[in-house]
Every structure is written in structure tokens, then in C-alpha cells.
Amino acid sequence: MTLFQVAAKRRSGVIAWAVLLLSGGLVPVALSAEDAHKIVRDYAPLERLASDSVNAFSLELFRILAKEEGGNMAVSPYSLDRALAAVAYGATGETRTELLGLLRMIPSHPFRGNAGVHYPLSLLSRRLARDRGDFSGTDMMLHAGDLNLKKEFIEGAEALYGIRPLACDFSKPGETVAAINSLAEQSTGGMIKEIIGESALSPASRMVILDTILFTGKWEEAFSPGDTREGEFQAADGPMTVSYMSKSLSLPLIEIAGEPAASAISIPFRNGEWEMVFFKPGDLGGFLDRLVPEAFCEWMDALDAAKGVRKRMKVSIPRFSFAWEAKNLREILGRMGMGRAFSASDAQFGGIADGERLYLSDVLHRTRIELDESGSRAAAASAVVVAKSLAVRTREFRLDRPFVFIVRHAATGAAVLLGKVAKPLSE
């Protein structure tokens, strides 16, 4: 089946990440079908470990991006985590150490070898894929036909992350880019129309690992459009008029002490597996400094405990929709500790293919989110480019100043989308 045939058949999705490998390799380990089944059947407690690792990486990346971006922004580090994990599966030496450190991936499984590091994330991915309705995902490895992929890498990538290889012709970058973007558009329900431009591919291009995920959540209790009213929102550069959707709901609520103080609620989606957490801080910049893994875990534990003592309140949330594109992700990820992977001379990816050397040349990411009375719909697309060396009382929770939101899998705690709203505009 050709890339173009596959592109015409992919189902709708909402977040797309791509890893472009332009020559070189990943360190694999043989994984039998029996071992792969054991991952799913016997080691469910590791889902939470993977969730904690994903969240730690997510929070660090989100804090950096949110501080550098003055306006609205949203990022899905979960999908980037999976794409980089596939790359890390074949990394060796210091490159592997840096990638695993960035992703907080540690050996935590009785099976020996490189795959043991990846089992928890594999389990989490499989768990999220099982909870159909709001969330789904697809994965694909698009590679040059003459790339001599290692059998162990192909088998490991498929067993751990469901990534299957598909040959394509990188000597025709226009056609290949068009097909990749068509696949991304279809797998994000039309929300992300382009992941990559033709300039990102060259004769040295060797592989693209594409990971797409979809989130389309309907509120457990929908807001009525008839109750939506205009109101004032205190943006950083002055007040603005926005449309607030409002409803009386019984929700978990926590008050976060300290400086700056904040409050938070979580609103469930219809299938019960997913929720959207809203943080209303007194000062957004100061709150971002506090948003570290230890504090986040404490707040989420408190919010989960508060589900047993829900408070009745009037909830007023501004409608918003926006698209966002990350800038300088290569530079940011390098600062976070994976600089060696971007070096044509120092990168060590010897386990993907025989006879070639790879390095990561760029990381691209685009997102779009829409929130209204019925629920939330979000999409993201990313590309990692790898090149060849060349009390019971009624109260109101009103989001009337800049706030932070998180789309979270309630059962495992995995945050799949994080964002901030500086101005709740509709684009």
C-alpha cells in the first residue's frame, strides 16, 4: 500500500506529531509477541509511573513555552514524548542518556534490555487507546525505500508503540510532503492542515515517524447556549469583552494557598474517563513558576479527593478557540538537555538502520483547540526532523483573567494537552 493510499484511509484525529529521520539508527531489542502481551496483561500499575514521567516532561516544557509566549498557547507534550521515545529506543551512548533523562524514562520492568525502559509508556499508550470515545491515536513510520531498517527496531517500535513501517519516495519532496500533510489533516479532523513544509525534506531525508492523537470531548453536563452572556475579561493589556458560557454545577474545587494563590476545578467529559482542569491564578507568571511536578501531583491528588465532596457553584468560562505554532523547539529542547541529538557529528542513533548515521535536525509543533457549550476539541501536529550527517454553598468560579487549562485522563492522571489563555478569542 502506498503512502497516498494510506493517507486516503486514515481516520480522523486530533493531535499529530511527526519525527523525520534523515539517515541513521536507533538501539533496539528483540521483543516476542508473548512479551508484548505480558506488557498489557500483567503490568497495569506501571501506567501511573509513565503518567508521572510524561507529566514531569510536559510541565517543564509547558512552563518554558508559556513564559516565552505572551499570548494564547497550547502544547501536547504527550504526543511529542511518544515520538521522542521512539527515537530514544534506537539511541546509544550519551545521546540515549540525554533523551531518557529528558523524558524521565527509567528501567522499571522485569524484562531486561532497552525495551524495559519503554514498557510503562507503552502501557499508558495502550490504556489511553482502549478508552475510546473522546481519545484515539494512530502511528506510522514513513521511510525511504532503500533505508535498511534493522529488524529489531521495526519489531520493537511496533510492539511498544504500534508504529508500522511504510516505504515512500523522499526524492520527490513535493509529493511526499503533500501526502504527509494530507494524512495529518485527515487524522486531525481537518484542524491541522499542515505539519511540515517542503523545505524540511531534502535528498538526505530518510524517515518520518508520524504519531497522531484525537481528543473530542463532550461535557458530562453541556452548557446551554441560551445562558451564554457577554462579560468583561481582565487581560494583561486591559479589559476586553468576551462570551461567557455559564451553568450551575457540582464540581470538585480546591484553593491553592501560597503566593500567588490560585483555585482550580475539574469538569468531567461524558464518558467519565477524561476531564478538563482549569486553574485560576492570582498572577499567571508567578503561578507558572509554581507549576512543578511535585506541586502538580499534590494539587491533582487534592482535586481527586475533592470529587467526594463536590461543591455546587456557578461556573462561568469564556468560549475560545485558537491555533498556535511552537517556535524554536529545537533550541528549547536542547536547553532542556537533549542537545547531542541535534548534532550531526555527535548524535548516536545506531539502531534504526544499517550503514547510515542520523541526527535530529528540527522539531515542529502546531496545535488548535476549540472550547464551547458542548465540549472541547483539540488538535496538534509536530515533526521531529532527523537528517543524515550531512462547604455547601453556591459560589461562582469565573475565569475572568488569564488562566491555565489541562486535558487530563482521570484514571491514570496523564495530561495530554496543556495550555494558557491570555485572551479568550475565537479564531
- 45-74 residue pLDDT tens: 778 888 999 999 999 999 999 999 889 999
Distance of CA 156 to the CA centre of its chain: 22
Which range among 166-170, 336-340, 386-390 shows the weakest confidence by mean pLDDT? Answer: 386-390
311 and 330: one domain? no
125 and 33: one domain? yes
133 and 270: one domain? no
309 and 342: one domain? no
In a domain, 426, yes or no: no
234 and 153: one domain? no
**pLDDT score, position 416:** 92
Q: Is the pLDDT of residue 18 over 50?
A: no
**Rounded mean pLDDT, 174-192:** 85
* pLDDT band of 238, cuts 50, 70, 90: very high
- Give the C-alpha separation, 89 to 26, whole Å: 6
Which CATH number characterizes residue 101's domain? 3.30.497.10
Which residues constitute the domain of residue 65?
3-218+322-388
In a domain, 235, yes or no: yes
404 and 417: one domain? yes
**pLDDT score, position 26:** 33
Q: Pairing state of beta strands 311-318 and 395-398?
A: parallel
237 and 347: one domain? no
Contacts of 134 (CB under 8 A, 6+ apart): 215, 216, 217, 218, 269, 270, 271, 273, 274
151 and 280: one domain? no
DSSP string, 231-261: EEEEETTEEEEEEEEEEEEEE-EEEE-SSS-
The DSSP output letter for 426 is B
User: What are the pLDDT digits (tens) for 318-361?
Assistant: 999 999 988 878 899 999 999 999 998 998 888 888 888 888 87
In a domain, 427, yes or no: no
In a domain, 83, yes or no: yes
315 and 274: one domain? yes
User: What are the E-state strand segments in 163-237?
Assistant: 164-168, 207-218, 229-235
208 and 353: one domain? yes
Nearest to 26 by CA among 327, 353, 412: 353
256 and 340: one domain? no
In a domain, 384, yes or no: yes
In a domain, 366, yes or no: yes
138 and 231: one domain? no
**pLDDT score, position 286:** 94
Work out the percent of the chain whose per-residue pLDDT is above 70: 85
Residue 141: all three cell numbers together: 513510520
Which CATH number characterizes residue 414's domain? 2.30.39.10
pTM equals 0.85
Give the number of domains in the chain: 2
Phi, psi of 12 (to 5 degrees): -60, 145
At residue 413, what is the residue type? Answer: G
Q: Is the pLDDT of residue 252 over 90?
A: yes
